[in-house]
Structure 1
Amino acid sequence: MSAFGFISTALAERRSTGLLRQRKIIESAQGPLIQVDGQHYINFSSNDYLAMRRSNVVAQAWVDGISELGGGSGASSLVTGYSYVHQALEEYLAAELGREKVLLFNSGFAANQAICQALFAASNKGLILADKLIHASFIDGAQACDAQLKRFRHNDLNHLQTLLAKADPKDDILVATEGVFSMDGDQAPLTDILSITEHTPAWLLVDDAHGFGVLGKKGLGVTELHNLSPQQLPVLMATFGKAIGTAGAFVAGSNNLIDYLVNFARHYIYSTAMPAAQAYATLACLQSQKRLQNKDILQQRIQQFKQLAQAAGLVLMPSDTAIQPVLIGNAEKALEASERLKKLGIWVSAIRYPTVPKNTDRLRITLSAGHEEQDIQALVDALQLTLQSTQKSTKA
């Protein structure tokens, strides 16, 4: 028997069940249009919610940043990779969010892993209570640390309260949820969650990857939207690779929390710092008026889509955000629907198990400020035709 023979077996199983993941090469991207295999599509599968990724604001800042600061940071932040631009971005975020300190990470995945593994090392075991649908990066981090992990049913306050009531009061407890859930597009009932956690010693963590940049009057995410104090929300994580249009992530909290992560978070200590030019472009986007203008446009597109979809008789999952999933419930049918949409010039990815729970396979539509009104109408028309065809093939 050859070594690692399970690889071929696992791939064959994924292929046979229609769950094999494959990459698509994007040959060009101009506004909401992408080119794949020589064909052009209106793209409804990007997390670039505010259309800032290719904006003049971000593009020019990248050019200026690279010209002044180079293409890479050259070292970890604790060696010589931490520049005045990194410091400026951290201080800007801390001031805007009303937090004492902010720490930059190369990705949200790394930030979530770092939080779990630093807070719950072997010498500090405790309990993590996480929403069932929280991102895989947090679940992986929680499973890899020394805390006990329990998951409460999605947005189920009674279940969370029951688990908290059963917890050992001597444990350090972290309650974790998302601002906007990446696959369903719905939001955590943070005010209600706080009514539970505020009467316990537990800390609340929010992964605001899909809310930061779009929620709140200034687009600062759940912290602004719900006016959350540092005491109510001791740990905030958010990313720049979605609404902000660059890359990387940050953790915001108290002086002690951030200093502790600097000293004990291995994902931070042993990683090359994000390029200073990237931090420069991120700060430029955050400070731009263009971002706020596009935030308003995005809200118009969301409302337009929901109204047109309702008029067309389309059944959507409950979401008021840029993430608008259409439940299919079968992996092969979801793929079929995605391919039918492509033939109509619409790019919407099929999201299947294990990314989402079994039998909740879906089309995950993401709207952007870069979409025009006619793009939204084209999407609804194509969905109507596609779902009718998919239903007919299912009955046949």
Structure 2
Amino acid sequence: MEIKGLKDELAGLKNEGRYQSLKIWETGSGTWMELNGRKVLQMCSNNYLGLTNHPELKQAATEAITKYGVGSGSVRTIVGTLDIHDRLENELARFKNTEAALVFPSGFTANQGILSSILGEEDAVISDELNHASIIDGIRLTKAIRKVFKHKDMDQLEAALKESADCRRRVVVTDGVFSMDGDIAPLPDIVALCERYDAIVYVDDAHASGVLGKNGKGSADHYGLHGRIHVQVGTLSKAIGAVGGYMAGSQSLKDYLIHKARPFLFSTSQPPSVAATCLAAIQVLSFSQHLLDRMWNNTAYFRDRLKEIGFDTGISETPIIPVIIGDPARTSRFSEELLEEGVSATGIVYPTVAMDKGRIRMIVTASHTTGDLDFALDRLTEVGRRFGLV
């Protein structure tokens, strides 16, 4: 049976250029993927380092299936904590230079579980206005006082810290790398303010894990802030090449979340093959920098060329490179025409970004060749001319 009003709302999305149909890809995640029997250059995947097809990760997954089977059979607190899960968490803690780590089903549920556990009605949470939706939803689950500061505005952050001085606990939350603009949080300034006002620093490193810092250790390593960030959230679904999320922090926080975080308590643990894959990925990163170096070299080349052509790439500092188009309908048309030219770059529109800041968000990876990037630049230029952008 139909739910009243849904079709009308969908029609409204279509009229505004904000409706998207799911594309059914016929090959696995990679640089070139098949869509409707045609090869398309992928320029919007989160597979930053190309690890989804790394031979060591595939071997680890296969061996884990042979040893453990395809599933864990339970939540972690019953019989769902296998030795492969314990090894992964120990390796994550070592990699992030923290006392402990705790794995969640996804980065989204990690933010929901942690924020809803550590924040009560006598607390305050102070959040950057451009933080990820998972942070926003995690905050919505709490009864804490909520304050939002203008993007990377340290004066507003300090004002919010002063205003919440009487709260039991104050948590300042920021993305490490912001997912829509590709810019990096000013963590040294945030940490300094939090230390001055005795507040908790909470960093979501979803797009910094495997991207920033030595061997991809994240924004804390990038800025040399080890031991000064209370909560680090990471993902295993992007640069790591598999799926999952995690908290890296103190042992007491881990123990607390095991008892309090509902997404952890009521979700079946990772399939052993996934845990083994993630463990292998961390080990690959720990002993090699060349994938990150290639990704960053590709990023510099691609962004510089886009700017030379005349595209507006906003404030990007990372492999996330937006090309700003404008209103939602125009952005969607640009993305569709680019796909017809053989390049996949999804349009991002309101409410994810401001109504007049629609963009195609591209992500440069270690797997792209110079030839791939030149092909994308050529096709972008062709479509950009049609739209009067270059």
Alpha-carbon contact 1:174-1:204 (below 8 Å) kept: yes
Distance 1:291 1:242 in 2: 18
Match of 2:85 in 1: 86
Deviations 1:42-63 (CA, angstroms, capped at 9, x unpaired) = 0001000000011212211111
Tell me if 1:304 matches 2:308: no
Runs of 4 or more, structure 1, over 4 Å off, are: none
Aligned-partner Cα distance in 1 for 2:41–2:231: 37
Deviates more, 1:350-359 or 1:42-51: 350-359
Partner of 1:176: 173
Residue number in structure 2 paired with 1:257: 253
- Distance between the aligned counterparts of 1:30 and 1:265, measured in 2? 31
What residue is the counterpart of 2:98 in the other structure? 99
CA distance in 1, matches of 2:275, 2:21: 31
Is the 2:122–2:167 Cα contact (8 Å) retained in structure 1? no
Q: Which amino acid aligns with 1:132?
A: E
SS across alignment from 2:190: helix
Q: What SS is found at the alignment partner of 1:318?
A: coil
- Take 2:363 and 2:259, find their aligned partners in 1: how far apart are those partners? 38
- Superposition TM-score, scaled by structure 1 size: 0.94
Residue 17 of structure 1 is matched in structure 2 by 16
| Structure 1 residue identity aligned to 2:284 | S
Gaps of at least 5 residues in structure 2 are: none
Partner Cα distance (2:341, 2:8) in 1:
35
> Is residue 186 of structure 1 aligned with residue 183 of structure 2?
yes
Aligned partner of 1:273: which letter? S
Give the match for residue 375 of structure 2.
Answer: 378
1:280 to 238, 260, 276: 276
CA contact (8 A) 1:101 1:258 kept: yes
1:316 match: secondary structure: coil
Query: Is this contact kept in 2: 1:235–1:253, CA < 8 A?
Result: yes
Deviates more, 1:336-345 or 1:23-32: 23-32
The aligned counterpart of 1:268 is: 264
Please report how far the alpha carbon of residue 6 of structure 1 lies from its aligned counterpart in structure 2 after TM superposition: 3.0
Structure 2 residue 315 is matched with structure 1 residue 318: yes
- How far 1:235 sits from its partner (Å)? 0.5
Corresponding residue for residue 162 of structure 2: 165
Change (3 A) 1:195 1:5: same
Identity %: 33
Deviation (angstroms), 1:392? 7.8
CA contact (8 A) 1:285 1:291 kept: no
**SS of structure 2 residue aligned to 1:328:** strand
Aligned to 1:391, the other structure's residue is in SS state coil
Contact 2:17 2:330 survives alignment (8 Å): no
User: What is the alpha-carbon distance in structure 2 between the residues aligned to residue 30 and residue 146 of structure 1?
Assistant: 40
SS in 1 for 2:182: coil
Distance of 2:105 and 2:312 partners within structure 1: 37
Describe the SS at the equivalent of 1:251: strand
Report if the CA contact (8 A) 1:308-1:377 is conserved.
Answer: no
Partner of 1:72 in structure 2? 71
Instruction: Report the Cα offset of residue 30 of structure 1.
Output: 6.7
Instruction: Write the deviation string for residues 282-326 of structure 1: whole angstroms up to 9, x where unpaired.
Output: 111111168632111101100111222233232211212110001
Superposition CA RMSD, Å:
1.7
Q: Is 1:48–2:44 an aligned residue pair?
A: no
What is residue 342 of structure 1 aligned with on the other side?
A: 339
Q: Distance in 2 between matches of 1:104 and 1:361?
A: 34
Range moving further from structure 2, 24-33 or 70-79: 24-33
Q: Deviation per CA, 1:27-82, whole angstroms, max 9, x where unpaired?
A: 11474111112221100010000000112122111111111111111100000010
**Alpha-carbon contact 1:50-1:291 (below 8 Å) kept:** no
Q: TM-score, normalised by structure 2?
A: 0.96
* Amino acid across the alignment from 1:327: I
